[in-house]
Structure 1
Amino acid sequence: MPDMPQTPASAEASASPEAPETDAAARFDAKAAAWDTSPHRRKLTADIIAAMDRAGVFREPVGDALDFGCGTGLLTLELSRRCQRVTGLDFSAGMLAALDAKIEAADLQNVATILADLAAGDPFPGRYDLVTSAMVLHHVPDLAPVLTRLFGALQKGGRLALADLDAEGGAFHDDNEGVHHFGFDRLELADTLAGLGFADIDAATAATIEKPAKCGTVRPFTVFLMTAKRP
Protein backbone atom coordinates (compact mmCIF):
# COMPACT_ATOMS: atom_id res chain seq x y z
CA MET A 1 0.00 0.00 0.00
CA PRO A 2 1.33 3.48 -0.76
CA ASP A 3 1.90 6.09 1.87
CA MET A 4 -0.62 8.90 1.47
CA PRO A 5 0.88 12.32 0.75
CA GLN A 6 0.67 14.32 3.95
CA THR A 7 -0.80 17.46 2.40
CA PRO A 8 -1.76 18.65 -1.07
CA ALA A 9 1.26 20.93 -1.05
CA SER A 10 3.70 18.15 -0.19
CA ALA A 11 2.16 15.90 -2.80
CA GLU A 12 2.58 18.59 -5.43
CA ALA A 13 6.20 19.04 -4.50
CA SER A 14 6.93 15.33 -4.77
CA ALA A 15 5.21 15.13 -8.15
CA SER A 16 6.83 18.04 -9.97
CA PRO A 17 8.98 20.81 -8.47
CA GLU A 18 7.56 23.54 -10.69
CA ALA A 19 4.71 21.87 -12.61
CA PRO A 20 4.81 24.35 -15.52
CA GLU A 21 1.42 25.56 -16.76
CA THR A 22 0.48 24.35 -20.21
CA ASP A 23 -2.14 25.79 -22.52
CA ALA A 24 -4.31 22.75 -21.86
CA ALA A 25 -3.96 23.14 -18.10
CA ALA A 26 -4.78 26.84 -18.39
CA ARG A 27 -8.02 26.02 -20.20
CA PHE A 28 -9.10 23.76 -17.36
CA ASP A 29 -7.92 26.25 -14.74
CA ALA A 30 -10.31 28.77 -16.26
CA LYS A 31 -13.22 26.33 -16.05
CA ALA A 32 -12.62 25.19 -12.47
CA ALA A 33 -14.84 27.69 -10.63
CA ALA A 34 -17.96 26.78 -12.60
CA TRP A 35 -17.19 23.09 -13.19
CA ASP A 36 -19.49 21.66 -10.51
CA THR A 37 -22.47 23.79 -11.54
CA SER A 38 -23.19 21.50 -14.49
CA PRO A 39 -26.04 19.10 -13.57
CA HIS A 40 -25.00 16.59 -16.22
CA ARG A 41 -21.52 16.25 -14.66
CA ARG A 42 -23.02 15.39 -11.28
CA LYS A 43 -25.44 12.89 -12.81
CA LEU A 44 -22.65 11.37 -14.89
CA THR A 45 -20.52 10.89 -11.77
CA ALA A 46 -23.40 9.09 -10.05
CA ASP A 47 -23.93 6.91 -13.12
CA ILE A 48 -20.24 6.00 -13.33
CA ILE A 49 -20.08 5.08 -9.64
CA ALA A 50 -23.20 2.93 -10.09
CA ALA A 51 -21.55 1.22 -13.06
CA MET A 52 -18.46 0.53 -10.94
CA ASP A 53 -20.70 -1.02 -8.31
CA ARG A 54 -22.35 -3.24 -10.94
CA ALA A 55 -18.92 -4.26 -12.24
CA GLY A 56 -17.86 -5.38 -8.77
CA VAL A 57 -15.09 -2.82 -8.41
CA PHE A 58 -15.87 -2.40 -4.70
CA ARG A 59 -16.88 -5.99 -4.01
CA GLU A 60 -13.59 -6.48 -2.15
CA PRO A 61 -12.25 -3.73 0.13
CA VAL A 62 -10.16 -1.17 -1.75
CA GLY A 63 -7.19 0.18 0.17
CA ASP A 64 -5.63 2.84 -2.04
CA ALA A 65 -7.23 4.40 -5.11
CA LEU A 66 -5.90 6.89 -7.65
CA ASP A 67 -8.32 9.08 -9.60
CA PHE A 68 -6.46 10.12 -12.76
CA GLY A 69 -7.62 13.45 -14.18
CA CYS A 70 -9.70 14.07 -11.09
CA GLY A 71 -10.66 17.67 -11.88
CA THR A 72 -12.64 19.18 -9.00
CA GLY A 73 -13.02 15.77 -7.42
CA LEU A 74 -16.60 14.77 -8.20
CA LEU A 75 -15.53 11.13 -8.63
CA THR A 76 -12.68 11.40 -6.12
CA LEU A 77 -15.05 12.24 -3.27
CA GLU A 78 -17.37 9.38 -4.19
CA LEU A 79 -14.37 7.06 -4.10
CA SER A 80 -13.42 8.41 -0.67
CA ARG A 81 -16.66 6.90 0.69
CA ARG A 82 -15.78 3.48 -0.76
CA CYS A 83 -11.99 3.26 -0.43
CA GLN A 84 -9.69 3.54 2.56
CA ARG A 85 -7.60 6.24 0.88
CA VAL A 86 -7.88 8.07 -2.44
CA THR A 87 -5.54 10.39 -4.28
CA GLY A 88 -6.77 12.80 -6.94
CA LEU A 89 -4.23 13.50 -9.69
CA ASP A 90 -4.60 16.27 -12.26
CA PHE A 91 -2.44 18.64 -14.31
CA SER A 92 -4.69 21.63 -13.63
CA ALA A 93 -3.75 23.59 -10.52
CA GLY A 94 -7.10 25.39 -10.66
CA MET A 95 -9.07 22.16 -10.62
CA LEU A 96 -7.00 20.81 -7.73
CA ALA A 97 -7.47 24.04 -5.78
CA ALA A 98 -11.23 23.49 -5.97
CA LEU A 99 -10.82 19.91 -4.76
CA ASP A 100 -8.42 20.93 -2.00
CA ALA A 101 -11.03 23.42 -0.76
CA LYS A 102 -13.62 20.63 -0.56
CA ILE A 103 -11.17 18.38 1.29
CA GLU A 104 -10.46 21.11 3.83
CA ALA A 105 -14.11 22.08 4.25
CA ALA A 106 -15.15 18.49 4.94
CA ASP A 107 -11.99 17.72 6.96
CA LEU A 108 -11.38 14.60 4.91
CA GLN A 109 -8.42 12.68 6.26
CA ASN A 110 -8.34 9.99 3.58
CA VAL A 111 -8.08 12.21 0.48
CA ALA A 112 -4.98 13.85 -0.97
CA THR A 113 -4.06 15.48 -4.28
CA ILE A 114 -1.12 15.40 -6.66
CA LEU A 115 -0.34 18.00 -9.33
CA ALA A 116 1.27 16.09 -12.20
CA ASP A 117 1.04 15.67 -15.97
CA LEU A 118 1.45 11.98 -16.72
CA ALA A 119 1.53 12.60 -20.46
CA ALA A 120 4.53 14.90 -19.95
CA GLY A 121 6.34 12.28 -17.85
CA ASP A 122 5.90 13.89 -14.44
CA PRO A 123 6.64 11.42 -11.63
CA PHE A 124 4.04 10.48 -9.08
CA PRO A 125 4.37 8.39 -5.92
CA GLY A 126 2.63 5.26 -4.76
CA ARG A 127 1.18 1.97 -5.93
CA TYR A 128 -2.57 1.55 -5.93
CA ASP A 129 -5.25 -1.10 -5.64
CA LEU A 130 -7.58 0.82 -7.95
CA VAL A 131 -6.97 3.40 -10.69
CA THR A 132 -9.93 5.27 -12.13
CA SER A 133 -10.58 8.01 -14.66
CA ALA A 134 -13.78 9.66 -15.85
CA MET A 135 -14.01 11.49 -19.20
CA VAL A 136 -10.25 12.02 -19.26
CA LEU A 137 -8.85 9.77 -21.97
CA HIS A 138 -10.25 11.76 -24.88
CA HIS A 139 -8.10 14.68 -23.73
CA VAL A 140 -4.87 12.59 -23.78
CA PRO A 141 -2.94 13.00 -27.04
CA ASP A 142 -1.04 9.69 -26.92
CA LEU A 143 -2.86 7.06 -24.88
CA ALA A 144 -0.42 4.16 -24.80
CA PRO A 145 2.33 5.82 -22.70
CA VAL A 146 -0.20 7.08 -20.15
CA LEU A 147 -1.99 3.73 -19.92
CA THR A 148 1.42 2.08 -19.51
CA ARG A 149 2.13 4.37 -16.58
CA LEU A 150 -1.26 3.56 -15.03
CA PHE A 151 -0.51 -0.15 -15.42
CA GLY A 152 2.77 0.42 -13.56
CA ALA A 153 0.95 2.33 -10.81
CA LEU A 154 -1.24 -0.66 -9.97
CA GLN A 155 -0.42 -3.29 -7.43
CA LYS A 156 -0.53 -6.84 -8.76
CA GLY A 157 -4.19 -7.75 -8.84
CA GLY A 158 -5.16 -4.09 -8.87
CA ARG A 159 -8.16 -2.89 -10.88
CA LEU A 160 -8.47 -0.28 -13.61
CA ALA A 161 -11.79 1.48 -14.25
CA LEU A 162 -11.97 3.87 -17.20
CA ALA A 163 -15.11 5.80 -18.15
CA ASP A 164 -15.24 7.67 -21.43
CA LEU A 165 -17.27 8.40 -24.55
CA ASP A 166 -18.09 5.86 -27.19
CA ALA A 167 -16.96 6.96 -30.67
CA GLU A 168 -19.04 10.05 -31.49
CA GLY A 169 -17.44 11.76 -34.49
CA GLY A 170 -16.64 15.05 -32.78
CA ALA A 171 -20.19 16.21 -32.05
CA PHE A 172 -20.10 15.96 -28.24
CA HIS A 173 -18.04 19.03 -27.38
CA ASP A 174 -19.07 22.54 -28.35
CA ASP A 175 -15.37 23.34 -28.81
CA ASN A 176 -12.99 20.52 -29.75
CA GLU A 177 -9.85 22.40 -28.77
CA GLY A 178 -7.89 20.03 -26.55
CA VAL A 179 -10.01 17.03 -27.59
CA HIS A 180 -7.69 14.45 -29.13
CA HIS A 181 -10.12 11.56 -29.56
CA PHE A 182 -13.75 11.76 -30.60
CA GLY A 183 -14.65 8.93 -28.26
CA PHE A 184 -13.37 5.37 -28.49
CA ASP A 185 -14.19 2.08 -30.10
CA ARG A 186 -14.52 -0.29 -27.15
CA LEU A 187 -12.89 -3.25 -28.90
CA GLU A 188 -9.91 -1.18 -30.01
CA LEU A 189 -9.39 0.22 -26.51
CA ALA A 190 -9.69 -3.27 -25.02
CA ASP A 191 -7.07 -4.50 -27.50
CA THR A 192 -4.78 -1.66 -26.43
CA LEU A 193 -5.17 -2.59 -22.76
CA ALA A 194 -4.56 -6.26 -23.50
CA GLY A 195 -1.41 -5.37 -25.41
CA LEU A 196 -0.11 -3.48 -22.37
CA GLY A 197 -0.60 -6.51 -20.13
CA PHE A 198 -4.05 -5.94 -18.65
CA ALA A 199 -6.36 -8.94 -18.17
CA ASP A 200 -10.03 -9.58 -17.35
CA ILE A 201 -11.06 -6.69 -19.59
CA ASP A 202 -14.76 -5.91 -19.74
CA ALA A 203 -16.94 -3.00 -20.79
CA ALA A 204 -20.53 -1.91 -20.30
CA THR A 205 -22.56 1.22 -20.89
CA ALA A 206 -22.42 3.41 -17.80
CA ALA A 207 -24.49 6.42 -18.87
CA THR A 208 -26.26 8.21 -21.67
CA ILE A 209 -25.91 11.97 -22.01
CA GLU A 210 -28.47 13.81 -24.08
CA LYS A 211 -27.37 17.21 -25.32
CA PRO A 212 -27.83 19.44 -28.36
CA ALA A 213 -25.48 18.51 -31.16
CA LYS A 214 -23.93 21.15 -33.41
CA CYS A 215 -26.77 20.74 -35.90
CA GLY A 216 -29.22 21.78 -33.17
CA THR A 217 -30.96 18.45 -32.61
CA VAL A 218 -30.75 16.64 -29.28
CA ARG A 219 -28.48 13.63 -29.57
CA PRO A 220 -27.71 10.83 -27.11
CA PHE A 221 -24.04 10.16 -26.36
CA THR A 222 -23.13 6.97 -24.52
CA VAL A 223 -20.39 6.64 -21.92
CA PHE A 224 -18.81 3.25 -21.26
CA LEU A 225 -17.07 1.87 -18.21
CA MET A 226 -14.14 -0.38 -19.09
CA THR A 227 -12.60 -2.42 -16.28
CA ALA A 228 -9.41 -4.45 -16.29
CA LYS A 229 -6.93 -6.01 -13.91
CA ARG A 230 -3.16 -6.08 -13.58
CA PRO A 231 -2.32 -9.80 -13.31
Structure 2
Amino acid sequence: MDEDAARFDARAAAWDANAHRRKLARNIVTAMAQTGIFARELPNVLDFGCGTGLLTLELADRAGHVTGLDTSPGMLAELSAKLEQAGLGNVSVLQADLAAGDPLPGSYDLITSAMALHHLPDPAVVLKRLFAVANPGAHLALADLDAEGGRFHDDNAGVYHHGFDRIDLADMLAGIGFTGIAAATAATIEKAGKNGLTVPFTVFLMTARKPASCCAPSKL
Protein backbone atom coordinates (compact mmCIF):
# COMPACT_ATOMS: atom_id res chain seq x y z
CA MET A 1 0.00 0.00 0.00
CA ASP A 2 1.36 3.44 -0.87
CA GLU A 3 1.74 6.23 1.68
CA ASP A 4 -1.25 8.22 0.43
CA ALA A 5 -3.65 5.27 0.78
CA ALA A 6 -2.24 4.46 4.22
CA ARG A 7 -2.76 8.08 5.27
CA PHE A 8 -6.45 7.88 4.37
CA ASP A 9 -6.79 4.49 6.04
CA ALA A 10 -5.69 6.11 9.29
CA ARG A 11 -8.36 8.80 8.94
CA ALA A 12 -11.22 6.59 7.76
CA ALA A 13 -12.97 5.83 11.06
CA ALA A 14 -13.31 9.51 11.99
CA TRP A 15 -13.84 10.89 8.47
CA ASP A 16 -17.60 11.39 8.65
CA ALA A 17 -17.39 13.22 11.98
CA ASN A 18 -16.44 16.38 10.07
CA ALA A 19 -19.67 18.29 9.49
CA HIS A 20 -18.10 20.25 6.60
CA ARG A 21 -17.64 17.02 4.63
CA ARG A 22 -21.23 15.87 5.11
CA LYS A 23 -22.63 19.25 4.13
CA LEU A 24 -20.30 19.49 1.14
CA ALA A 25 -21.60 16.21 -0.31
CA ARG A 26 -25.15 17.53 -0.13
CA ASN A 27 -24.14 20.84 -1.70
CA ILE A 28 -22.38 19.06 -4.58
CA VAL A 29 -25.45 16.94 -5.34
CA THR A 30 -27.62 20.06 -5.26
CA ALA A 31 -25.27 21.78 -7.71
CA MET A 32 -25.33 18.71 -9.95
CA ALA A 33 -29.12 18.70 -9.93
CA GLN A 34 -29.15 22.33 -11.01
CA THR A 35 -27.19 21.37 -14.15
CA GLY A 36 -29.88 18.86 -15.16
CA ILE A 37 -27.59 15.84 -14.90
CA PHE A 38 -30.25 13.83 -13.07
CA ALA A 39 -32.91 14.54 -15.71
CA ARG A 40 -31.75 11.55 -17.77
CA GLU A 41 -31.49 7.91 -16.84
CA LEU A 42 -28.20 6.95 -15.22
CA PRO A 43 -27.88 3.16 -15.27
CA ASN A 44 -24.25 3.14 -14.16
CA VAL A 45 -22.45 5.81 -12.14
CA LEU A 46 -18.83 5.87 -10.99
CA ASP A 47 -17.79 7.93 -7.97
CA PHE A 48 -14.02 8.27 -8.23
CA GLY A 49 -12.13 8.85 -4.98
CA CYS A 50 -15.29 8.07 -3.05
CA GLY A 51 -13.75 7.85 0.41
CA THR A 52 -16.39 6.78 2.93
CA GLY A 53 -19.12 7.33 0.34
CA LEU A 54 -20.63 10.63 1.43
CA LEU A 55 -21.29 11.55 -2.21
CA THR A 56 -21.76 7.94 -3.32
CA LEU A 57 -24.74 7.48 -1.02
CA GLU A 58 -26.28 10.77 -2.13
CA LEU A 59 -26.22 9.37 -5.67
CA ALA A 60 -27.65 5.95 -4.78
CA ASP A 61 -31.31 6.91 -5.17
CA ARG A 62 -30.63 8.85 -8.37
CA ALA A 63 -29.00 6.07 -10.38
CA GLY A 64 -29.48 2.44 -11.30
CA HIS A 65 -26.13 1.43 -9.87
CA VAL A 66 -23.26 3.35 -8.29
CA THR A 67 -19.67 2.14 -7.97
CA GLY A 68 -17.58 3.79 -5.29
CA LEU A 69 -13.90 3.64 -6.26
CA ASP A 70 -11.00 4.49 -3.97
CA THR A 71 -7.40 3.50 -3.31
CA SER A 72 -7.94 3.25 0.45
CA PRO A 73 -9.24 -0.08 1.81
CA GLY A 74 -9.98 1.63 5.12
CA MET A 75 -12.26 4.19 3.48
CA LEU A 76 -14.01 1.49 1.45
CA ALA A 77 -14.53 -0.60 4.59
CA GLU A 78 -16.41 2.33 6.13
CA LEU A 79 -18.57 2.63 3.00
CA SER A 80 -19.21 -1.12 2.92
CA ALA A 81 -20.41 -1.02 6.53
CA LYS A 82 -22.87 1.75 5.64
CA LEU A 83 -24.17 -0.23 2.68
CA GLU A 84 -24.76 -3.29 4.82
CA GLN A 85 -26.51 -1.28 7.50
CA ALA A 86 -28.75 0.49 4.96
CA GLY A 87 -29.40 -2.64 2.92
CA LEU A 88 -28.44 -0.89 -0.32
CA GLY A 89 -28.08 -3.35 -3.17
CA ASN A 90 -27.37 -0.89 -5.96
CA VAL A 91 -24.01 0.34 -4.66
CA SER A 92 -20.72 -1.55 -4.91
CA VAL A 93 -17.15 -0.71 -3.93
CA LEU A 94 -13.97 -1.08 -5.95
CA GLN A 95 -10.43 -0.66 -4.69
CA ALA A 96 -8.19 0.49 -7.52
CA ASP A 97 -5.43 2.96 -8.26
CA LEU A 98 -6.09 4.36 -11.72
CA ALA A 99 -2.93 6.46 -11.63
CA ALA A 100 -0.93 3.25 -11.20
CA GLY A 101 -2.68 1.52 -14.09
CA ASP A 102 -5.09 -0.73 -12.19
CA PRO A 103 -7.87 -2.07 -14.44
CA LEU A 104 -11.26 -0.39 -14.39
CA PRO A 105 -14.08 -2.66 -15.59
CA GLY A 106 -17.39 -1.48 -16.93
CA SER A 107 -18.58 1.70 -18.61
CA TYR A 108 -20.44 4.60 -17.07
CA ASP A 109 -23.16 7.14 -17.80
CA LEU A 110 -21.98 9.58 -15.13
CA ILE A 111 -18.58 9.89 -13.50
CA THR A 112 -18.27 12.01 -10.38
CA SER A 113 -15.42 13.03 -8.12
CA ALA A 114 -15.46 15.16 -5.00
CA MET A 115 -12.28 16.62 -3.51
CA ALA A 116 -10.11 13.88 -4.99
CA LEU A 117 -8.29 15.59 -7.86
CA HIS A 118 -5.98 17.59 -5.62
CA HIS A 119 -4.64 14.31 -4.23
CA LEU A 120 -3.44 13.17 -7.68
CA PRO A 121 0.12 14.01 -8.77
CA ASP A 122 -1.01 14.11 -12.42
CA PRO A 123 -4.81 14.49 -12.75
CA ALA A 124 -4.66 14.28 -16.56
CA VAL A 125 -3.53 10.64 -16.39
CA VAL A 126 -6.63 9.65 -14.43
CA LEU A 127 -9.00 11.90 -16.37
CA LYS A 128 -7.91 10.25 -19.61
CA ARG A 129 -8.71 6.86 -18.14
CA LEU A 130 -12.10 8.10 -16.96
CA PHE A 131 -12.80 9.46 -20.43
CA ALA A 132 -12.04 6.02 -21.87
CA VAL A 133 -14.64 4.25 -19.72
CA ALA A 134 -17.33 6.92 -20.10
CA ASN A 135 -20.17 5.94 -22.40
CA PRO A 136 -20.74 8.22 -25.40
CA GLY A 137 -22.78 11.17 -24.14
CA ALA A 138 -21.86 10.48 -20.50
CA HIS A 139 -21.54 13.32 -18.02
CA LEU A 140 -18.49 14.15 -15.92
CA ALA A 141 -18.93 16.11 -12.69
CA LEU A 142 -15.80 17.19 -10.81
CA ALA A 143 -15.92 19.06 -7.51
CA ASP A 144 -12.76 20.46 -6.00
CA LEU A 145 -11.19 23.53 -4.45
CA ASP A 146 -10.52 26.71 -6.30
CA ALA A 147 -6.84 27.70 -6.13
CA GLU A 148 -6.17 28.35 -2.44
CA GLY A 149 -2.41 28.71 -2.03
CA GLY A 150 -1.97 25.82 0.39
CA ARG A 151 -4.06 27.32 3.21
CA PHE A 152 -6.98 24.87 3.21
CA HIS A 153 -5.45 21.70 4.65
CA ASP A 154 -4.03 21.59 8.14
CA ASP A 155 -1.53 19.03 6.84
CA ASN A 156 -0.53 19.18 3.17
CA ALA A 157 1.01 15.70 3.10
CA GLY A 158 -0.50 13.91 0.12
CA VAL A 159 -1.86 17.17 -1.32
CA TYR A 160 -0.35 17.68 -4.77
CA HIS A 161 -2.40 20.69 -5.88
CA HIS A 162 -3.55 23.61 -3.76
CA GLY A 163 -6.82 23.82 -5.61
CA PHE A 164 -7.25 24.45 -9.31
CA ASP A 165 -7.64 27.34 -11.70
CA ARG A 166 -10.97 26.69 -13.41
CA ILE A 167 -9.77 27.77 -16.84
CA ASP A 168 -6.70 25.56 -16.67
CA LEU A 169 -8.77 22.55 -15.63
CA ALA A 170 -11.32 23.23 -18.38
CA ASP A 171 -8.49 23.37 -20.91
CA MET A 172 -7.21 20.02 -19.61
CA LEU A 173 -10.64 18.43 -20.04
CA ALA A 174 -11.02 19.87 -23.54
CA GLY A 175 -7.61 18.52 -24.50
CA ILE A 176 -8.69 15.04 -23.41
CA GLY A 177 -11.82 15.23 -25.54
CA PHE A 178 -14.59 16.37 -23.20
CA THR A 179 -17.07 18.96 -24.49
CA GLY A 180 -19.79 21.19 -23.05
CA ILE A 181 -17.51 22.20 -20.19
CA ALA A 182 -19.01 24.52 -17.57
CA ALA A 183 -18.26 25.46 -13.98
CA ALA A 184 -20.12 26.98 -11.06
CA THR A 185 -19.50 27.43 -7.36
CA ALA A 186 -21.03 24.50 -5.50
CA ALA A 187 -20.14 25.43 -1.93
CA THR A 188 -18.12 27.65 0.36
CA ILE A 189 -16.26 26.12 3.28
CA GLU A 190 -15.30 28.45 6.11
CA LYS A 191 -12.33 27.51 8.25
CA ALA A 192 -10.46 29.27 11.01
CA GLY A 193 -7.11 30.60 9.83
CA LYS A 194 -3.89 30.72 11.85
CA ASN A 195 -4.69 34.28 12.86
CA GLY A 196 -8.04 33.21 14.27
CA LEU A 197 -10.02 34.84 11.46
CA THR A 198 -12.46 32.82 9.38
CA VAL A 199 -11.26 32.12 5.85
CA PRO A 200 -13.72 31.16 3.07
CA PHE A 201 -12.69 28.52 0.53
CA THR A 202 -14.84 27.95 -2.54
CA VAL A 203 -15.50 24.56 -4.10
CA PHE A 204 -16.41 24.47 -7.78
CA LEU A 205 -18.44 21.94 -9.72
CA MET A 206 -17.10 21.47 -13.24
CA THR A 207 -19.28 19.49 -15.62
CA ALA A 208 -18.52 18.13 -19.07
CA ARG A 209 -19.65 15.43 -21.47
CA LYS A 210 -18.07 12.82 -23.63
CA PRO A 211 -19.28 13.47 -27.20
CA ALA A 212 -22.24 11.26 -28.12
CA SER A 213 -20.58 10.40 -31.41
CA CYS A 214 -17.38 9.26 -29.74
CA CYS A 215 -16.07 5.75 -30.04
CA ALA A 216 -17.30 3.01 -27.72
CA PRO A 217 -15.63 2.98 -24.28
CA SER A 218 -12.73 0.66 -23.71
CA LYS A 219 -11.92 -1.33 -20.59
CA LEU A 220 -8.67 -0.13 -19.06
The gaps in structure 2 that reach 5 residues or longer are 212-220
1:70-115 C-alpha deviation (Å, 9 max, x unpaired): 0000000111010010000000000000001111111111000100
> Among 191, 194, 209, which residue is 2:174 paired with?
194
Q: Which residue of 2 aligns with 1:209?
A: 189
Structure 1 distance, partners of 2:28, 2:94, is 22
Runs of 4+ aligned residues of structure 1 deviating over 3 Å after TM superposition are none
TM-fit CA distance, 1:153:
1.3
Provide the C-alpha distance between the structure 2 equivalents of 1:91 and 1:85, rounded to a whole number of angstroms: 20
Counterpart position of 2:125: 145
Name the CA distance, whole Å, in 1 between partners of 2:123 and 2:79.
Answer: 25
**Where do residues 12-31 of structure 1 align in structure 2 (5 Å cutoff)?**
21-31=1-11
- The answer as to whether partners of 1:174 and 1:214 remain within 8 angstroms in 2 is no
- 2:28 aligned with 1:56: no
State the superposition RMSD in angstroms.
Answer: 0.7
Which residue of structure 2 aligns with residue 89 of structure 1? 69
- Structure 1: distance between partners of 2:195 and 2:133: 42
Output the CA distance in 1 between the equivalents of 2:49 and 2:115. Answer: 8
Q: Provide the TM-score with structure 1 as the length reference.
A: 0.90
Superposition deviation, residue 124 in structure 1: 1.4
Seq. identity, %:
64
Report the equivalent of 2:110. 130
Tell me the distance in 2 between the aligned counterparts of 1:190 and 1:178: 23
1:163-195 CA distance string (max 9 Å, x none): 000000000000101000000000000000000
Aligned partner of 1:177 among 154, 157, 171: 157
Count of residues in Structure 1 that have an aligned counterpart in Structure 2? 211
2: CA distance between counterparts of 1:44 and 1:99?
A: 17
Q: CA deviation at 1:216?
A: 3.0
TM-score (norm 2): 0.95
Q: Match for 1:46: what amino acid?
A: R
Matched with 1:167 is 147
